[in-house]
Homo-oligomer: A and B are copies of this chain.
């Protein structure tokens, strides 16, 4: 860490930094999109969007189908001109693919709409949230809700200590608990048997929300078989499983997600709203997700991306002076040396290297210098490794 000059910004760089800071403060606790950045700051040349948690190979796959079935078939106008189908119709499209009855599926305008729907409707008094985590879970809570935080320990590599957590929930007596598996931004993963234990021990909690938005990047065997806690749905009326399609299918702009829950809860949500909450593109995606050929091809790009990601995480381990945390998600949490702020490093990566990463300085429950770096394709990941090596060797 001798070359401290690396971390001195030029006047031009300081000017860009100021513009970015303004945008970030406008965007609240989420990063401004790469589009917003590029439009408003003309001097930026973004090469790798490693803030963006998305499988690029899946985007290619979707585009291939979309081009053939919609664009080349001149059917695009239908998707944008007409009202999309309603929740129950869309749920039927992919019910077989995920092996869950359509009556247990609530389709959402992205997972964030579903998070909002569930906690606004069903959380009455107290919620236990594991931090650091995705901020919407506590930000969306209504004012009347008392939030208790259970903080993951750095000394335990941010893995959830099951027994301590169970005791904490028993003492705190919340009506809602939230577990993101794998967790964002730590990448830590709870084995299905551990999650099952939690469900069994905490059956008194009225609403148990498991967010599986990153679950397609996790695996428990050598074949990378998909895992999910959906099998517990039948015996646990208090279970909600939330699933974003943005990350694993590489389609964040489409806004598609779903949640699995007891039929009574689905009916309750649909009774007072959520009419036409999917757009034409999302409806097309969910229909595609119901076709075996697409699902088969998706399995291949899922596996390809997991392998690339796991290789990337291993590769980063050789960058000196940073700590790389184990990850079962499509991103990796890295800890920087104490002497240099993660905020400054994120600016330097963006301005000098064109690499956009998530600086975790504002992440509740994560004290220190951390960056969350998304895995991209091989070329992008190489650029990230090179930049980090340049900065920290």
Contacts and interface: CB of A to CB of B under 8 A. Distances in A.
Interface of A: 26-28, 30, 32-36, 49, 52, 54, 59, 62-63, 66, 71, 76-86, 88-89, 109-110, 112-113, 116, 120, 136, 139-142, 246, 250-255, 271-282
Nearest to A143: B272
Contacts of A251: 80-81
Contacts of A66: 80
Given A80-B251, A253-B80, A35 B276 contact: no
Copies in the complex: 2
Contacts of A278: 255
A36 B278 CA distance: 14
Contact of A33 (B83, B109, B141): B83
Contacts of A62: 80
Contacts of A140: 272-273
B250 A81 contact: yes
28 contacts: A32-B85, A33-B82, A33-B83, A33-B84, A35-B82, A54-B81, A59-B77, A59-B80, A63-B76, A63-B77, A80-B251, A81-B252, A84-B253, A109-B109, A109-B279, A112-B273, A112-B275, A112-B276, A112-B277, A116-B274, A120-B120, A139-B271, A139-B272, A252-B276, A255-B276, A279-B281, A279-B282, A281-B281
A52 B83 contact: yes
Nearest to A29: B275
Given A82-B52, A120-B273, A140-B272, A89 B26 contact: yes
A293 to B, nearest CB: 18
Contacts of A274: 116
Contacts of A282: 279
A254 B279 contact: yes
A93 B250 CA distance: 26
B85 A273 contact: no
A83 B276 contact: no
Given A59-B80, A112-B277, A113-B277, 9 more contacts: A26-B89, A27-B86, A28-B86, A33-B85, A84-B255, A109-B277, A139-B271, A139-B272, A279-B282
A34 B82 contact: yes
Given A116-B274, A279-B279, A88 B141 contact: no
Nearest 8 Cβ contacts at the A-B interface: A253-B280, A116-B273, A255-B279, A80-B253, A83-B252, A59-B81, A112-B275, A33-B83
